[in-house]
C-alpha cells in the first residue's frame, strides 16, 4: 500500500468500523490496513449491522464476507477449545479467570460468536493452582511452545496461554456459571485497565508511538456498552508517566471513535504524544524519525529495567533489539 494512502485508509477504516463508510474510499488500501490490524471481520460486522454492507462494491463485499465467515468458523473452534479447557480445570476444582478475547467467546451463545479476530486464549489461575492447571492441560495434549508464549496442540487453531494471577485489578472479577462451566470474568473497568497497561506500558506503545487499533476498538466497545469511570481508572495508574500514557489513549479513543472523556485528560504532554502517534500512523515515511526515536527510547528503557537481560547472551540480545526497532505485530 503506497505510503501516501495510509492516512486516508486509516480514516476510512475507522469510519467503516463506526458504520459510516466514505463514498470515495480506496477499498484496496482500506482492506490492506484492516488485514494488517486484524480488523477485517469487525469491519464487515460493523457495516452489516449499520445496514451499509450492500452499498459496497460487489468484490469488496464478497471479500469482507469471506474473511468474516472464515473467522466465524475459527472462533467457533476457539470457543470449543476454550470450553474443553475450562471443563478440565473445573473438574480439578479450578475456576480460571478469562482475559481479552476469551471473554466474549465464552459469553457468546449457541452458534453465534463475536466477529473479533482472536489470536489465542488467555486464562489465569491462582499461583497455588498453576502446577495442577498445567497438568490438566498436558492431559488434554497441550505442549508448551518454545519461548514461553503458551501451549498448543496440532489440531487447534490457536494457542492457550496460562498465567498465574495475584488478584490485582481495578475491581474483583465476577463468577459466571454457564452451561455447567464456571469462570471468572473481569469487570469492564478491569478489562479496560488491562488492555491499556498491556499495550501502552508492557508493549511500550506509549514510548514507541504505536497504536493497536484492534484493542482501541475493543476499548470503544467497552465504553459504549458500560458506563466507564475514566477518572477513577486514571487515578489507578501507578505514576505520572503511566497517567500520561492513559490520557494519550483516551485522546485516541475520542478522535477515532467519538468516546467522551474527562476534560482533565486533555493536557499538553498527552496531546503531544497523541499527535505523535497519529502523525506516524498516517505518515509512516515522514514520521519514521519519530518512530525510530521512540523505539530507541523504549529499547533503552527495557535494557535498563529488565533484570538480567544482557546476561541472556549476545544472540538473544540482538534478536530483542531487532524486534524492538522493527517488529510492529498488527500495530500502526
Question: What fold is seen in the domain 71-186?
Answer: Beta Polymerase; domain 2 (3.30.460)
Start-to-end CA span in the chain (Å): 13
Is the dihedral angle over the CA atoms 136, 138, 139, 140 positive or is it negative?
positive
* 167-193 average pLDDT score: 87
* pLDDT digits 0-9 by tens, 244-296: 999 999 999 999 999 999 888 888 999 999 999 999 999 888 888 888 888 88
User: Nearest 5°: CA angle at 185, between 179 and 187?
Assistant: 135
Q: How far is CA 163 from CA 121, 166, 167, 300, in A?
A: 11, 10, 12, 27
pTM: 0.87
Helix (H) or strand (E) holding 318: helix 314-326
50 DSSP 8-state letter:
T
- Give me the percent of the chain exceeding a pLDDT of 90: 64
Work out the mean pLDDT of the chain and round it to a whole number: 88
Question: Tens digit of pLDDT for each residue in 297-322?
Answer: 888 777 766 644 444 555 555 555 55
Query: Distance (Å, rounded) from C-alpha 273 to C-alpha 103?
Result: 31
Q: Which residues contact 78 (CB under 8 A, 6 or more apart)?
A: 101, 105, 118, 121, 157, 158
Grid cell in block for residue 180: 455447567
Q: Between residues 167 and 210, which one has the greater pLDDT?
A: 210
Burial 245-260 (b: 16+ CB within 10 A, else e): bbbbbbbbbbebbebe
167 has pLDDT over 70? no
Beta strands in the chain (DSSP E): 97-99, 120-125, 143-144, 151-152, 159-164, 174-178, 181-185
Kindly state the helix (H) or strand (E) to which residue 44 belongs, with its residue range.
helix 40-49
* Rounded-to-integer distance, Cα 32 and Cα 8, Å: 12
DSSP annotation of 202 reads I
Q: Where are the domains of the chain?
A: 1-56, 71-186, 189-332
**What mean pLDDT comes out for the span 91-104?**
95
User: SS3 of 123, please?
Assistant: strand
- What pLDDT band is residue 3 in, cutting at 50, 70 and 90? very low
Encode pLDDT of 115-133 as tens digits.
999 989 999 999 999 999 9
Q: Is pLDDT larger for residue 265 or for residue 169?
A: 265
C-alpha cell, 164: 498465574
Rounded Cα distance between 287 and 280, Å, is: 4
Integer CA distances (angstroms), 287 to 97, 200, 253, 297, in order: 40, 19, 21, 16
82 has a pLDDT exceeding 90: yes
CA dist list (Å): 66 to 10, 25, 34, 70, 190: 22, 20, 14, 6, 34
Percentage of the chain beyond pLDDT 70 is 89
Does the pLDDT value for residue 188 go beyond 80?
Answer: yes
Amino acid at each position: 500500500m503506497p505510503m501516501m494512502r495510509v492516512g486516508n485508509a486509516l480514516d476510512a477504516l475507522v469510519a467503516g468500523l463506526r458504520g459510516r463508510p466514505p463514498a470515495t474510499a480506496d477499498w484496496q488500501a482500506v482492506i490492506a490496513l484492516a488485514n494488517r490490524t486484524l480488523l477485517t471481520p469487525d469491519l464487515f460486522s460493523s457495516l452489516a449491522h449499520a445496514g451499509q454492507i450492500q452499498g459496497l462494491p460487489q468484490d469488496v463485499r464478497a471479500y469482507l464476507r469471506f474473511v468474516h465467515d472464515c473467522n466465524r468458523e475459527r472462533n467457533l473452534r476457539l470457543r470449543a477449545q476454550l470450553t474443553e479447557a475450562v471443563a478440565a480445570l473445573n473438574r480439578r476444582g479450578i475456576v480460571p479467570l478469562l482475559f481479552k478475547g476469551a471473554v466474549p467467546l465464552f459469553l457468546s451463545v449457541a452458534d453465534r460468536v463475536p466477529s473479533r479476530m482472536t489470536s489465542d486464549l488467555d486464562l489465569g489461575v491462582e499461583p497455588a493452582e498453576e502446577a495442577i492447571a498445567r497438568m490438566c492441560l498436558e492431559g488434554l495434549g497441550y505442549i508448551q511452545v518454545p519461548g514461553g508464549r503458551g501451549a498448543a496442540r496440532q489440531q487447534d487453531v490457536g494457542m492457550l496461554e496460562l498465567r498465574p494471577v495475584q488478584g490485582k485489578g481495578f475491581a474483583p472479577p465476577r463468577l459466571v456459571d454457564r452451561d455447567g462451566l464456571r469462570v471468572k470474568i473481569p469487570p469492564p473497568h478491569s478489562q479496560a485497565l488491562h488492555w491499556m497497561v498491556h499495550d501502552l506500558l508492557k508493549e511500550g506503545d506509549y514510548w514507541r508511538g504505536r497504536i493497536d487499533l484492534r484493542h482501541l476498538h475493543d476499548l470503544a466497545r467497552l465504553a459504549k456498552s458500560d458506563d466507564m469511570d475514566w477518572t477513577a481508572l486514571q487515578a489507578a495508574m501507578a505514576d505520572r508517566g503511566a497517567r500520561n500514557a492513559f490520557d494519550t489513549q483516551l485522546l485516541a479513543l475520542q478522535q477515532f471513535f467519538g468516546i467522551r472523556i474527562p476534560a482533565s485528560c486533555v493536557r499538553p504532554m498527552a496531546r503531544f504524544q497523541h499527535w505523535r502517534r497519529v502523525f506516524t500512523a498516517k505518515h509512516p515515511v515522514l514520521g519514521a524519525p519519530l518512530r525510530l526515536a521512540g523505539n530507541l527510547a523504549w529499547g533503552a528503557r527495557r535494557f535498563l529495567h529488565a533484570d538480567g537481560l544482557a546476561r541472556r547472551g549476545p544472540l538473544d540480545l540482538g534478536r530483542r533489539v531487532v524486534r524492538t526497532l522493527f517488529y510492529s505485530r498488527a500495530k500502526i
